[in-house]
Chain A
Amino acid sequence: MESLIIILVGVLSTVAFYLLLSRNIVRVILGTAILSHAAHLMILAMGGLKIGSAPLLGEEAETYVDALPQALILTAIVISFAVTAFILVLAYRAYQELGTDDLEEMRGTDNE
């Protein structure tokens, strides 16, 4: 299962990288969003999957899955959301000011 998820992570990163290399700002933002999906899955897979029950002591299970990666991912989800929101608004604002969503055309303006 872990290996399968890692391969999925690889595919998601490839897509994200390709999007990041493009000139359209929305595609770049989409790239960052997908890259963070990939990163979350990667962290989870590294902690080992499906061994034990959910990390709730109330379950009173024999073993629990590793809770640390989950805590890390939880932080990461929120932060990546904050960043995505910020760049989206930045793109909106840049379009309002400069009339373009093409990073190439944004070059060389006064506000560069």
Chain B
Amino acid sequence: MHLLIFSILLPFLTAALIPLIRRRIGDFNIGWLVLFIPVLLFGFFASQIPLVSSRETLLSSIEWIPSLGINFTAYLDGLSLIMALLITGVGSLVVLYSIYYLSPTDSFPHFYAYLLLFMGAMLGVVLSDNLMVLYVFWELTSISSFLLIAFWYHRKNSRYGAQKSLLITVFGGFAMFAGFLMLYAMTGTLSIQETAAVMGQLTEHALFYPAMFLILLGAFTKSAQFPFHIWLPDAMEAPTPVSAYLHSATMVKAGIYLVARFTPIFGGTSAWFWTITIVGLITLFWGAFCAIRQTDLKALLAYSTISQLGLIMSLLGMGSAALHYGNTEAGALYGLAIFAALFHLVNHSTFKGALFMVVGIIDHQVGTRDIRRLGGLMTLLPVTFTFAVIGSFSMAGLPLLNGFLSKEMFFTASLNAASMPGLFSTSWGWLIPVIAWLASVLTFIYAMIIVFRTFLGNHDSKAVEKRPVEPPIGMLISPAILSILIVGLFFAPNLLGDHLLKPALEQLLPGISGASPDSIYAWHGVNAELLMTIGIVLIGSVLFITFDRWKGIFKIQPAGWTFNALYNYALTSSENAASFVTRSYMTGRLHQYFFYILLFFVVSTGGTLLLSDALSISFVQDAPISIYELMLVIVMIITAISILFTRSRLSAILMNGVLGYSISIFFVLFRAPDLALTQLVIETVTTALFLLCFNYLPEWKREPLPKRKKARNAVLAIAGGLVITLTGLSVNSIDLFETISSYFQNSYELAGGQNIVNSILGDFRALDTMLEGLVLFIAGIGVYTLIRLKLKKEAGTDGD
């Protein structure tokens, strides 16, 4: 069943084809062609629903790097299918919407190529069973998000937002990668399914908690959890279809997906429970609190998304307790939270997607998203208003809309979590429903802000540039479909619950029966949850009406004390520190660079020599020394040292010649006739070349260095020479390996050559020799060019 893998690759392939298509079609909007892909994929995934609802899974694997255990394994179960349907479903709507949203001056091929890149990467994340493959796709989503946020790259804020999201999500992704490697070290497998199977015995492992926290770091940064949420508001610089797709419906849910996917692995421990629950609740509250103060509709939606992601996250945290209690009544009770998380995951995508599209329409038709300049749009944009009401009220958790159902479940879960026995019991448990309730009041307020501040009140036609009219019908189709889903899911929630949510839940909470409700009801009678909702509506309405009186509360937080300020400070100070360090050693002085290199050589090689106890000197294997060889060595040493002291460059170069010719004598003595011949020729040519160049170069001056520096250089040079000598002597005194030279002595049989050296050069290692010729050739071109080429500046004045 390689169709599953093909479904991941299809968007990538299409993205690669887009630049080619553009040349052919000219003015035609390629969005219509692109739309075909997500619709096709949605159809494919939708056709898998019967399979998954009958509790079966699909597995498809292609070997990628089998030696490292990395296989391209695609795995489809309930959870993946929910995500895949969201990715392709919302993807189809967003592509359709974007066809009308983008202006003709925007680069469509770029936009759709990035969008398809993202779609493929996101499908890869939710369908991969192999950790390494998952990681690759995970980072690809970050990169495509970066490209899409910076789509209008001429804007400074777009670039800033893109960089911020990339830095934060890739930082988290890298932490997650480290966590994956730890998991691999613990289990020896990269498959998530296999990991989940063996993890039960490994909770005592030293790497268990480090791996858990690193993976959570990846999930929290991706899903914009407090305090990493700061990238999401800045990501709103992206075109609105992108915000609707990546930054509310799909990519930011990758962290949620990851937490859900790893619940069978880490769930049931108190660290997992508390970390996710607390971070989720803080995010839920802080996001909602910040959303109220926003004046930009998109920024408001961004904070609201943060808040809602926190809600889903906290539900996953609470629900993980079920794995501790196992297949008991308590287990089933807490498992409901995960069911609620999955349900709200879908609901949030519908109402937030609709709201983003509504805001996009307002921006597109009115020319501004500033709440202070908007108002009274209800009569001008009645259709858009309807969608806005449906989306906002669903977000606020009002009845007749799907948000109501999952919000009630959220309250149930938080009330359950407040009274947990055993491992998770704490005297602070009552805070969970309190925070949940407070945050929901705030959610209600900002949902009302969207509806009332934008659509009701007086329309100030001077405040906006255009006279607002309803957008083209194509732009309304996508939010209409989402609005129908929002209402439809309220009346037929069990369609979703039975076919997708239950299979997914059973995968996440293996062995716990009865965690999912028999069916989802809107009416449970008058219970605590209903009273909480009524309280929210009452208190929320009062607070919304009196908003102007208490909005001074936002001034309590000092202006400089934000996480954004901290991020900016960290960014600028690390940039400054990096450039300070770089500038301190990248001075442009060649002798300093060489000084560092030599120092490093002395310390590392010399240090290794001493520390590894490798130093040994023995003369046993040495050949005997005859008197004229000794004399030759002495002559060379004296010549070499006197090069340092000579005043004249001519004598220096002649002394270099003496060294070269002496070496050729050694070559003769050491039975190397070919070397001796070559050395003689080369030395002669080199000396001639030196003399030729000296004709054009100035006479030597004394080195203008202070004595102290000269002494420092001398010490380092001597140390370098010493390290080389000691290393050479140590190597010479030990025979670690058998020599391979006997092989080449068959040169006549193997290569038909009597001269072994020549056979090696011309036959055994002929490729080396060919490349050596290439080096000579390049050097020759270099020399020729340097002499003949005149620099452009000069050529300009010459007039040729």
Contacts and interface: CB of A to CB of B under 8 A. Distances in A.
Physical interaction between A and B: yes
Interface of A: 1-15, 17-24, 26-28, 30, 33-34, 37-38, 40-42, 44-58, 64-68, 70-71, 73-75, 77-79, 81-86, 88-93, 95-97, 101-104, 107-108, 111-112
Contacts of A83: 779
Contacts of B136: none
Interface in B649-671: 649, 652-653, 656, 659-660, 663, 666-667, 669-671
B629 A1 contact: yes
B731 interface: yes
Contacts of B745: 55, 57, 64, 67
Interface in B620-652: 621-625, 629-630, 633, 636-637, 640-641, 643-644, 649, 652
A51 B779 CA distance: 37
Given A17-B720, A77-B682, A67 B636 contact: no
Interface stretch (B42-50, B189-197, B516-524, B700-708): B700-708
B783 A89 contact: yes
B672 A101 contact: no
Q: What are the 10 A-B residue pairs with the smallest beta carbon separation, nearest first?
A: A14-B721, A10-B725, A82-B779, A17-B717, A6-B728, A67-B756, A71-B760, A18-B717, A55-B756, A54-B671
Interface in B733-787: 739-741, 744-745, 747-748, 754-757, 760-761, 765, 768-769, 772, 775-776, 779-780, 782-783, 786-787
Given A17-B716, A65-B672, A90-B782, 5 more contacts: A10-B725, A13-B721, A30-B643, A42-B728, A81-B685
Contacts of B696: 92, 95-96
B783 A86 contact: yes
Which of B591, B694, B716, B756 has the most C-beta atoms of chain A within 10 angstroms of its own C-beta? B756
28 contacts: A2-B621, A2-B732, A3-B617, A5-B633, A7-B725, A15-B717, A15-B721, A21-B594, A21-B595, A21-B717, A26-B694, A26-B697, A27-B700, A30-B643, A37-B660, A41-B666, A44-B675, A49-B623, A51-B623, A55-B757, A67-B745, A73-B672, A73-B675, A74-B674, A78-B776, A88-B693, A89-B786, A93-B786
A14 B686 CA distance: 22
Contact of A17 (B667, B689, B721): B721
Contacts, number: 265
B724 interface: yes
A41 B663 contact: yes
B760 to A, nearest CB: 4
B354 to A, nearest CB: 58
Instruction: Kindly name the residue among A1, A23, A45 whose own CB sees the greatest number of chain B CB atoms within 10 A.
Output: A1
Given A15-B640, A42-B728, A96-B696, A81 B716 contact: no
A54 to B, nearest CB: 4
B570 interface: no
B791 to A, nearest CB: 7
B598 interface: yes
B203 interface: no
B796 interface: no
Contacts of B748: 57
A17 B640 CA distance: 12
A85 B690 CA distance: 8
A26 B649 contact: yes
Contacts of A4: 622, 625, 629-630, 633
B678 interface: yes
B588 A112 contact: yes
A11 B640 contact: yes
A57 B689 contact: no
Nearest to A11: B637
A9 B724 CA distance: 8
A54 B755 CA distance: 9
A110 to B, nearest CB: 8
A108 B368 CA distance: 50
B573 interface: no
B714 interface: yes
B33 interface: no
B589 interface: yes
Given A10-B722, A28-B590, A93-B787, A88 B689 contact: yes
Nearest to B758: A71
Contacts of B278: none
Q: Size class of B's contact patch?
A: 35 or more
Interface on chain A toward B: helix, strand, loop, or mixed SS? helix
A8 B625 CA distance: 14
B447 to A, nearest CB: 61
Contacts of B653: 30
Nearest to A82: B779
Give the secondary structure class of B's interface: helix
Contacts of B637: 8, 11
Contacts of A108: 588
B713 interface: yes
Nearest to A104: B589
Nearest to B670: A49
Contacts of A53: 671
A3 B724 contact: no
A92 to B, nearest CB: 5
Given A21-B717, A49-B623, A74 B633 contact: no
A37 B281 CA distance: 72
B536 to A, nearest CB: 67
Given A58-B754, A92-B697, A6 B591 contact: no
B786 A90 contact: yes
Given A2-B622, A51-B623, A12 B640 contact: yes
A64 B701 contact: no
Contacts of B619: 3
A21 to B, nearest CB: 4
Interface in B578-624: 588-591, 594-595, 598, 617, 619, 621-624
A95 B769 CA distance: 34
A56 B720 contact: no
A92 B691 CA distance: 12
A90 B106 CA distance: 49
Which residue among B633, B721, B732 has the maximum number of chain A CB atoms within 10 Å of its CB?
B721
Given A55-B756, A88-B690, A79 B775 contact: yes
A88 B783 CA distance: 9
Interface in B540-560: none
A57 B685 contact: no
A54 B624 contact: no
Contact of A21 (B666, B700, B713, B772): B713
A34 B772 contact: no
B718 interface: yes
B203 to A, nearest CB: 55
A9 B731 CA distance: 14
B714 A50 contact: no
A22 B643 CA distance: 13
Contact of A46 (B659, B728, B783, B787): B728
A15 B724 CA distance: 13
A57 B747 contact: yes
Contact of A18 (B667, B714, B754): B714
The residue among A47, A55, A81 with the most chain B CB atoms within 10 A of its own CB is A55
B698 interface: yes
Contacts of B780: 82
B670 A75 contact: no
A6 B732 contact: yes
A85 B747 contact: no
B729 interface: yes
A88 B689 CA distance: 8
Nearest to B640: A15
B279 to A, nearest CB: 51
B419 interface: no
B686 A56 contact: no
Contact of A14 (B720, B765, B776): B720
Contacts of A77: 675, 678-679, 682
Contact of B591 (A8, A22, A41, A73): A22
A36 to B, nearest CB: 10
Nearest to B660: A37
